[in-house]
């Protein structure tokens, strides 16, 4: 047991450490009243470990830092267990008599720009109960980057599935523009269904920038042509040097030119996914209504410029949206992607569900959305997919099939399999935030709300809790994804 003199010495040591840190160490965390106990009198503890402690991080919690508690248990207790609880989880450690104990608790370490001086609560509990204890709360550095810490935290939250999340989304889709120069038959632009053509304004991009800098997967497109958008180029400027992220966009590659090529090569973009939807000029004209050879020429020019620099990025991918009109060209499309020097080919298929029901007439071609879906002829579709897969294997090009929706394989999915509300945020050019690209409704709007008010708003928290229980929330009903459908795909033949 510690004597009175020893106890006084330890108290003086604790007080001097605390004062020294406050004067010279910017990592000191300021403990707020009323949980801070006055230390003007000799022998007063720094804080009472038997009660929850509230503290404020002056200047905001910096990314890439941990919370450290240095704990000296009260005298008179041979040993005790120190239980430390924070908003981000629990940690337990053991303290022997009279020892200083350092416990590092990983906090959600992403900054909250709308809450720069956020109040955190830390509960210290000793077992058996101890009336008082002495301690110090500090921030310590971490060798991981803010983005790495966020991705790890987000991965943990996807696994734990809480209603409220502390991480930024690992995947961020930003519609930098909803303006497009083409009218492809499978796109709402073809029938004037896009009632909000605009480039994303700068103030919305400002609200998204913290999330943008902490996302591992960044997509800068939705309905519009990103290369025509000032917001697209601004987003690339704001992620300059962000090599840990996969940053890319889908593009029709119709507006390129030497200046845009140089800007792309100088930027942080990792890939461009070129929408071709055809292997022949005739089919391209039917579906996209544009000059096939011009797009191929632009693709070659970009690849040649990249290779002259000896650069690895941007990688060039080519994608085809499968429909009955073009599915017979799937294998030749894979070959075309290889001949052009593409790094990868994608085969997606038309959406299904509420709202995907329109007709477009282009010359002699009449496109009826529901009649063109590959599921209308699964035998043909699976046969063509088989040929495309075999062609990719033979020619040595990576082929990616649609991973978001069931194709025509024997596949089933349930609501609990969906991770999107925990790891994905989709924001259109009007500021509407959604948990994925298939969501019909919006979970909030950044014009009136902060990012966190949408990301952690009541609606998304309810959606998360429902999916965690394997229940489809009403918000998700009608979404064009396999999780909302919750049924087996209607493959009649097998691949």
- The angle that helices 292-309 and 330-340 make with each other, rounded to 10 degrees, is 40
Which residues lie across from 79 on neighbouring strands? 96
Residue 236 makes CB contacts below 8 A (sequence gap 6+) with: 220, 247, 263, 267, 268, 269
The pLDDT value recorded for residue 453 is: 93
31, 52 in Cβ contact below 8 A? no
The angle formed by the CA atoms of residues 467, 422 and 347, to the nearest 5 degrees, is 90
- Torsion sign, CA atoms 247, 220, 403, 298: negative
The pLDDT value recorded for residue 357 is: 87
Look at strands 217-219 and 246-251 and give their pairing.
Answer: parallel
- The angle that helices 202-212 and 230-238 make with each other, rounded to 10 degrees, is 30
297, 252 in Cβ contact below 8 A? no
The structure tokens listed for 252 are: 């029709």
The structure tokens listed for 86 are: 């924070």
The pLDDT value recorded for residue 143 is: 54
Look at strands 359-362 and 134-141 and give their pairing.
Answer: unpaired
Residue 87 makes CB contacts below 8 A (sequence gap 6+) with: 107, 108, 120, 121, 166
The pLDDT value recorded for residue 159 is: 84
Block mean pLDDT (10 aa), the chain, length 495: 44 36 31 29 38 42 42 39 44 38 40 42 46 41 68 84 90 95 91 78 93 94 94 95 92 95 96 97 96 97 96 96 95 97 93 82 91 90 91 94 49 80 95 91 94 94 95 87 58 35
> Residue 158 in 3-state DSSP?
helix
Which residues lie across from 138 on neighbouring strands? 28, 68
Neighbours of 416 (CB within 10 A): 15
- State how far the Cα of 178 lies from the Cα of 446, in Å rounded to an integer: 16
- N- to C-terminal Cα distance for the chain? 75
> Residue 46 in 3-state DSSP?
coil
The pLDDT value recorded for residue 144 is: 62
The pLDDT value recorded for residue 438 is: 84
């Amino acid at each position: 047991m510690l004597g009175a003199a020893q106890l006084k010495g330890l108290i003086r040591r604790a007080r001097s450490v605390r004062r020294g840190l406050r004067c010279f160490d910017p990592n000191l965390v300021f403990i707020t009243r009323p949980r801070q106990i006055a230390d003007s009198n000799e022998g007063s503890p720094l804080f009472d470990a038997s009660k929850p402690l509230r503290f404020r991080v002056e200047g905001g919690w910096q990314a890439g830092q941990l919370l450290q508690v240095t704990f000296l248990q009260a005298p008179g207790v041979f040993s005790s267990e120190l239980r430390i609880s924070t908003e981000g989880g629990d940690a337990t450690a053991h303290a022997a008599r009279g020892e200083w104990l350092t416990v590092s608790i990983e906090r959600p370490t992403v900054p909250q720009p709308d809450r720069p001086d956020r109040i955190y609560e830390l509960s210290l509990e000793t077992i058996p109960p101890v009336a008082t204890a002495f301690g110090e709360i500090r921030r310590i550095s971490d060798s991981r980057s803010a983005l790495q810490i966020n991705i790890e935290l987000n991965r943990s939250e996807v696994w734990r599935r809480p209603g409220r999340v502390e991480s930024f989304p690992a995947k961020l889709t930003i519609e930098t523009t909803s303006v497009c120069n083409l009218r492809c038959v499978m796109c709402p632009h073809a029938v004037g269904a896009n009632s909000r053509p605009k480039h994303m304004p700068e103030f919305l991009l400002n609200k998204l920038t913290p999330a943008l800098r902490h996302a591992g997967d960044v997509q800068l497109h939705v309905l519009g042509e990103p290369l025509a958008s000032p917001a697209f180029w601004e987003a690339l400027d704001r992620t300059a040097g962000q090599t840990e992220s996969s940053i890319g966009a889908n593009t029709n590659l119709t507006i390129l030119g030497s200046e845009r090529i140089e800007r792309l090569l100088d930027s942080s973009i990792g890939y461009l996914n070129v929408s071709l939807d055809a292997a022949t000029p005739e089919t391209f004209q039917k579906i996209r209504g544009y000059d096939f050879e011009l797009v191929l020429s632009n693709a070659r020019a970009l690849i040649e410029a990249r290779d002259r620099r000896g650069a690895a990025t941007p990688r060039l991918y080519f994608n085809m949206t499968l429909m009955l009109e073009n599915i017979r060209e799937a294998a030749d499309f894979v070959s075309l992607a290889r001949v052009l020097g593409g790094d990868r080919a994608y085969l997606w298929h038309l959406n299904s569900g509420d709202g995907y029901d329109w007709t477009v007439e282009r010359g002699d071609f009449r496109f009826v959305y529901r009649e063109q879906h590959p599921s209308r002829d699964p035998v043909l579709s699976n046969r063509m997919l088989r040929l495309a897969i075999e062609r990719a294997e033979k020619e040595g090009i990576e082929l990616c099939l649609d991973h978001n929706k069931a194709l025509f394989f024997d596949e089933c999915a349930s609501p609990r399999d969906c991770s999107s509300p925990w790891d994905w945020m989709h924001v259109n050019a009007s500021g509407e935030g959604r948990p994925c690209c298939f969501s019909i409704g919006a979970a909030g709007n950044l014009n009136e709300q902060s990012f966190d008010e949408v990301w952690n708003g009541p609606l998304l928290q309810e959606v998360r809790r429902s999916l965690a229980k394997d229940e489809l929330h009403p918000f998700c009903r009608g979404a064009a994804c396999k999780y909302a459908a919750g049924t087996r795909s209607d493959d009649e033949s097998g691949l």
